[in-house]
Each structure stands twice: as structure tokens, then as C-alpha cells.
């Protein structure tokens, strides 16, 4: 009897895990949430202090529910941990008087995912093929890449995974695409996550699926640290931050008119950093700025966002606006919370102008992978787009202009990598 094989896609924003059983079919684990079962596990942790010294830690859908149910919002919401793996500037943080290493945080996030998957599949989930980006965010050299992989492997062991094999995430998506393919193709996989955009160029199909032929079928990989989080950040910068004091001024105690510090708003652009502003020192700074501000009502709104730890609500508002702009030429970003009301109209053309540099980086990476392989766009049979930002029209247009819409394929944008990694795990088990 063939042993079950498991594939884990640990994402910056969402994670998923799949199983391939004896029949060779990948099955995604589902996770309980208030909205019903979901195949994606939000890559987020929520810490809250109950009565006494103990801190309760929840991950995934349970973390979001705990955050939304908390009336005081005095807990700590932590997300986008994957984006810190290659950063030597972040190794640990203090949460409620306890020091958490990055590997401990990711382990605490992935442990409930593994346990829920075990409960659903009815068997231990200890051997797994895990996806990794082509280039980790913040990795500047090979040593940074090795550091990120070592941290990720330690995190997985902390979560209870005993045997780990890494595979590039776009290769996982290629396995998903290849399933059921009756002819050979040269394909480009474009995987758009929360932190990175990754590309793989490879040959797939019946002949290339034969044992031992995978290595020669892969023609190249490349990636860039630009994806959904960067797009969200531009919406926050241009639509939300100005209403919270970005670009405003205050009068110092010496009578000088100075700008409100820009670093405050860089935290807003990465919504999961909003909780970092909720320190005694920063809150006092914001109170002082509100008192001295020329437009104090804007700083009052900023204080509300920080004191109430509204980072996740800010994320939901920007995500909704981004989704709306994938379907319509214009929308309105809305954030409402207990008297705070932010409404900002936005047109798709403006949004595309704001993300022009990110689009250029994606376009350049795409050209680079083709050049390195000695190929032209016309040589590629199919392009498979996956990941949430593959819905953004300006992103799709990059591929339509090079390859033609008729060659583009997509599907299961948030789970195709996990399914494909499970198929890869089944192949590894046979070797």
C-alpha cells in the first residue's frame, strides 16, 4: 500500500496543506471558521492575556476570530512572519513579557494547522514537502537564503513536522497544472504570493513526468520580492494615510513647523506592523503630535487606529478595494470602526500608476527568466497564473501582451501550490 504524501504551502498571507492517498488524488485539508469550513489557513497568530499570567495563543481562523471578538483589542496580532525569514534584523520579539524567537512564532502558527489536518485525515502528518519561494524576501545573497531555509526548517520541526523536503512553490503549481495533461508542454508558472512573485519555466506532460526526468525538464527559476502586500501598501499610502496625518504638519515647542514623522506611516503600509506602534513610547509621541498638530483631527484618527489595533480591519478594507478594482474601473475604500469613518474613492488607473514600479519589477523578472533560458515568449506553450494577485488586471496584462490571452491558464489560485506539493511528495516517496 502506498504511503500517504503531504504537501504544505506556508504562505505570507494564507497557508494550505494537501494529502495524496493511494489513488493519487490530492485532497486539501479544511479548517473550521465562523464562516464555515475553509481550505486556507490564515497565516496569522493572535496573543491575548486571560486572567492570570498565562497568554493564550491562537493561529489561523481561530486567531482572526479571537481578534474580532476582543472588545478591548489589547491582544497582539502577528502576521507575515514568512517575510522575516531572511532578515538578520529580526530574530525575536517580546510579547506580554515573553521572548519569542521567529522559529517559535512560525512553529506556533503551523502546529494547529498540522493538528487540524491530522484530525481530518485521520493519520499523522509528519513527513511533508514544503514550498519555498525562489528568492526569499530581504535575501541579498546566498548566505541569507541559507539562513531563511534553516529558520524555516527549524520552525517546521517546532510545529511537529519530523521530515521536511523543500521544493520551489511555482514547481508545486506546475505539478498541479500537469495532472491529467495528455500531451507535453513548455510552461511558465507565475506564482503571486503575499511577499514574493515567483516564476518557473519547465517542460511538463507524460514524457517529463517519468521517474528521473524532472531535473532535466526544469529550464529556470526566478523571483522578485514584490507581490500582494506591496500592492496593499500603495493603497494605504495614497488613500488612508493622508486621512491619518501623512503629509500633515505640527508646531514644535520651539515654534518651528515640522512634518509629522514619515516612519509612522511606513508601519501602516505594512498593516501587520500597526501593533508595533502600540508601545508606550510611540503612543506618547502620537498624543504629543495630536496636541501640536495643525490638523489635530487627523492625528486623532491615527490614535484611534493604533489604540484599537485596527491593522487587520485596515487590511480587509484594502483587500476589498483591490478585489473591487479587479472587476470595476473604480471603487471606494471604506474603513468604519466606532466613530472612525474613512471613505476614499479610487480609480483603477490611479492604482495602476501607484504600482508601476512593482509591475516593472515583475515584468523585468519575467524577461530575465526567458533570456536566461534562451527562449522567446512565442516558444512557451502555456502560462499558468496562480496566487491572489494574479487577478489584478495590470498583472495579467503583462502576460497577455507577451503571450496572448489564449495561452493563459489559471485556477485554484490559493490552493494549487499545496495540491501540487502533495503530488511532488508522492513522487519523492517512490524514489
All structural domains of the chain, each given as residue ranges with its CATH number in brackets, are: 5-217+411-430 (3.30.420.40)
pLDDT per position as a tens digit, 191-221: 998 888 999 999 999 888 765 566 678 899 9
Element at 28 (helix H, strand E): strand 26-28
Name the one residue in this structure whose C-alpha cell is 497582539.
Answer: 76
pLDDT per position as a tens digit, 307-339: 888 888 898 999 999 999 999 999 999 999 988
Predicted structure pTM score: 0.90
Helix axes 61-69, 311-327, angle to 10 degrees: 120
What does pLDDT average to over the chain? 91
- For residues 245 and 429, the model is more confident at 245
pLDDT per position as a tens digit, 402-417: 999 999 998 777 789 9
pLDDT, position 304:
93
Alpha carbons 216 and 213: distance in angstroms, whole number: 6
Structure-derived torsion over alpha carbons of residues 275, 277, 283, 287, reported in degrees to the nearest 10: -110
pLDDT at 239 over 70: yes
How far apart, in Å, are the Cα atoms of 112 and each of 58, 160, 324? 8, 10, 32
pLDDT at 1 over 60: no
Span of 85-99, 147-161, 266-280, 409-423 with lowest mean pLDDT: 266-280
pLDDT, position 95:
84
Amino acid at each position: 500500500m502506498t504511503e500517504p504524501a503531504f504537501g504544505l504551502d506556508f504562505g505570507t498571507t494564507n497557508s494550505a496543506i494537501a494529502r495524496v492517498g493511494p489513488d493519487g488524488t490530492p485532497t486539501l485539508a479544511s479548517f473550521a471558521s465562523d464562516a464555515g469550513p475553509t481550505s486556507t489557513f490564515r497565516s496569522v497568530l493572535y496573543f491575548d492575556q486571560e486572567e492570570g499570567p498565562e497568554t493564550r495563543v491562537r493561529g489561523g481562523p481561530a486567531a482572526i476570530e479571537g481578534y474580532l471578538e476582543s472588545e478591548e483589542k489589547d491582544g497582539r496580532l502577528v502576521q507575515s512572519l514568512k517575510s522575516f525569514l531572511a532578515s538578520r534584523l529580526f530574530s525575536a520579539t517580546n510579547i506580554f513579557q515573553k521572548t519569542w524567537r521567529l522559529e517559535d512564532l512560525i512553529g506556533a502558527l503551523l502546529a494547529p494547522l498540522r493538528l487540524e489536518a491530522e484530525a481530518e485525515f485521520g493519520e499523522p502528518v509528519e513527513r511533508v514537502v514544503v514550498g519555498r519561494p525562489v528568492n526569499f524576501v530581504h535575501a541579498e545573497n546566498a548566505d541569507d537564503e541559507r539562513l531563511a531555509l534553516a529558520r524555516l526548517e527549524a520552525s517546521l520541526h517546532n510545529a511537529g513536522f519530523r521530515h521536511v523536503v523543500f521544493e520551489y512553490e511555482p514547481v508545486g503549481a506546475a505539478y498541479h497544472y500537469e495532472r491529467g495533461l495528455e500531451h507535453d508542454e513548455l510552461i511558465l508558472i507565475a506564482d503571486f504570493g503575499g511577499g514574493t512573485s515567483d516564476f518557473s519555466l519547465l517542460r511538463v506532460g507524460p514524457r517529463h513526468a517519468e521517474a528521473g526526468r524532472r531535473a532535466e525538464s526544469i529550464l529556470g527559476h526566478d523571483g522578485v520580492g514584490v507581490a500582494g502586500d506591496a500592492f496593499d501598501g500603495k493603497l494605504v499610502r495614497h488613500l488612508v494615510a493622508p486621512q491619518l496625518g501623512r503629509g500633515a504638519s505640527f508646531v514644535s515647542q520651539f515654534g518651528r513647523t515640522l512634518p509629522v514623522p514619515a516612519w509612522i506611516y511606513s508601519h501602516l503600509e505594512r498593516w501587520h506592523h500597526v501593533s508595533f506602534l502600540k508601545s508606550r513610547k510611540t503612543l506618547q509621541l502620537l498624543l504629543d503630535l495630536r496636541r501640536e498638530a495643525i490638523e489635530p483631527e487627523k492625528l486623532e484618527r491615527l490614535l484611534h487606529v493604533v489604540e484599537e489595533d485596527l491593522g487587520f480591519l485596515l487590511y480587509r478594507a484594502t483587500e476589498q478595494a483591490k478585489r473591487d478594482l479587479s472587476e470595476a474601473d473604480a471603487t471606494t475604500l471604506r474603513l468604519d470602526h466606532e466613530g472612525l469613518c474613512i471613505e476614499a474613492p479610487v480609480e483603477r488607473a490611479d492604482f495602476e500608476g501607484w504600482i508601476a514600479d512593482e509591475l516593472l519589477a515583475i515584468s523585468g523578472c519575467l524577461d530575465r527568466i526567458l533570456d536566461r533560458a534562451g527562449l522567446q515568449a512565442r516558444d512557451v506553450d502555456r502560462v499558468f497564473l496562480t496566487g491572489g494577485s494574479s487577478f489584478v488586471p495590470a498583472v495579467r496584462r503583462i502576460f497577455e501582451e507577451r503571450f496572448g490571452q489564449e495561452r493563459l491558464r489559471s485556477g485554484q489560485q490559493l490552493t494549487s501550490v499545496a495540491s501540487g506539493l502533495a503530488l511532488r511528495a508522492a513522487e519523492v516517496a517512490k524514489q
